């Protein structure tokens, strides 16, 4: 039986009392090592669900747990990669990637041992780990550059390295490739897919692109018009196959995803993202 890494139990969440909630009694489980994508129409709550899992927002009702511990705040072992990169513009690539370890040393007296709920990064991450991730992502030569001097793909690689250096148990990605040109996007998709497979890292990717969802995820959660009480789950067991993007199985999954989205009612109102 697969261990459960993330579990959402009967949550209700909304941004305003005079509008329908985005989630109403919603439950979902994510197993260890699974790679998920979340798709759905604009305003259905894709990013909101990610922020709830990251501890950046709290449900009005119900509970979210990661590693069996309620998520009441952001934690170092829950990594989040944003579309906008979230890099410090005044810091070099090296300083951005080593931000987590430096924060960990600053809070070293607040460390709580092996407690998975500890919000702070480990205090003793060696510099060699940061250097290894820069090299693995092909940006080690840019260590002393600033974000403004980098391309969009390079900035996203820095954001990925900064997150992976903390060795997260759960990696959340909010449309991380959507602003990139097609060759760069596909190259990063392949690289992230390979890295997460090697590390057996549990990942949840929010995307609006059915092709990306099919390529990146073995399971896809389709959200619909709020309030979401249960999403549609579509299995994609062949996603790890070689040349999957050119296969009939890939075409079949993308067609299934499009059909699921077409069955989703048109938004009657625009909910928060």
Give the integer Cα–Cα distance in Å for 45 and 54.
Answer: 14
Q: What pLDDT is recorded for position 113?
A: 54
Q: What pLDDT is recorded for position 256?
A: 93
CA dihedral 188, 190, 196, 202 (to 10 degrees): 90
Q: What pLDDT is recorded for position 266?
A: 39
Question: Within 10 Å of residue 87's Cβ, how many Cβ atoms?
Answer: 22
Residues recorded for the chain:
273
DSSP code per residue over 133-180: HHHHTT-GGGTT--GGGS-HHHHHHHHHHHHHTT--SEEEEESTTTTS
Q: Output the pTM of the full model.
A: 0.88
Q: What is the pLDDT of residues 103-159, one digit of tens each?
A: 766 555 555 555 556 666 666 778 889 999 999 999 999 999 999 999 999 999 999
Exposed, middle or buried, 42 (CB in 10 Å: 0-12/13-18/19+)?
Answer: exposed
Q: What pLDDT is recorded for position 268?
A: 31
Tens place of pLDDT per residue across the chain (273 aa): 469 999 999 999 998 878 889 999 999 999 999 999 999 998 899 999 999 999 999 999 999 999 999 998 888 889 999 888 789 999 999 999 988 877 766 555 555 555 556 666 666 778 889 999 999 999 999 999 999 999 999 999 999 999 999 889 999 999 998 888 899 999 999 999 999 999 999 999 999 999 999 999 999 999 998 899 888 999 999 988 888 888 999 999 999 999 998 875 533 332 222
Q: What pLDDT is recorded for position 272?
A: 28
> What CATH superfamily is the domain 1-71+205-273?
P-loop containing nucleotide triphosphate hydrolases (3.40.50.300)
Question: Within 10 Å of residue 221's Cβ, how many Cβ atoms?
Answer: 23
């Amino acid at each position: 039986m697969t261990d459960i890494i993330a579990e959402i139990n009967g949550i209700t969440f909304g941004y305003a009392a005079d509008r329908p909630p985005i989630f109403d009694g919603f439950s979902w489980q994510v197993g260890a090592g699974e790679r998920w994508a979340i798709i759905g129409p604009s305003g259905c709550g894709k990013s909101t669900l990610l922020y709830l899992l990251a501890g950046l927002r709290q449900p009005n009702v119900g509970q979210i747990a990661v590693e069996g511990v309620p998520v009441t705040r952001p934690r170092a072992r829950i990594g989040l990669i944003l579309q906008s990169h979230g890099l410090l513009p005044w810091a070099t690539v090296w300083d951005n990637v080593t931000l987590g370890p430096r924060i960990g040393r600053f809070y070293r007296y607040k460390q709580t041992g092996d407690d998975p709920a500890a919000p702070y990064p480990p205090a003793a991450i060696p510099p060699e780990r940061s250097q290894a991730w820069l090299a693995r992502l092909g940006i080690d030569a840019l260590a002393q550059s600033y974000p403004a001097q980098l391309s969009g793909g390079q900035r996203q690689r820095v954001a990925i390295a900064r997150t992976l250096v903390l060795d997260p148990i759960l990696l959340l990605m909010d449309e991380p490739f959507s602003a990139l040109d097609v060759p760069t996007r596909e190259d990063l998709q392949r690289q992230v897919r390979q890295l997460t497979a090697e590390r057996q890292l549990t990942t949840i990717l929010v995307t609006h692109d059915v092709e990306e969802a099919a390529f990146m995820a073995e399971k896809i959660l389709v959200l619909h018009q709020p309030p979401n009480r249960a999403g549609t789950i579509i299995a994609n067991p062949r996603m790890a196959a070689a040349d999957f993007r050119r296969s009939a199985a890939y075409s079949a999954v993308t067609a299934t995803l499009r059909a699921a989205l077409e069955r989703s009612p048109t938004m009657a109102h625009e909910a928060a993202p």
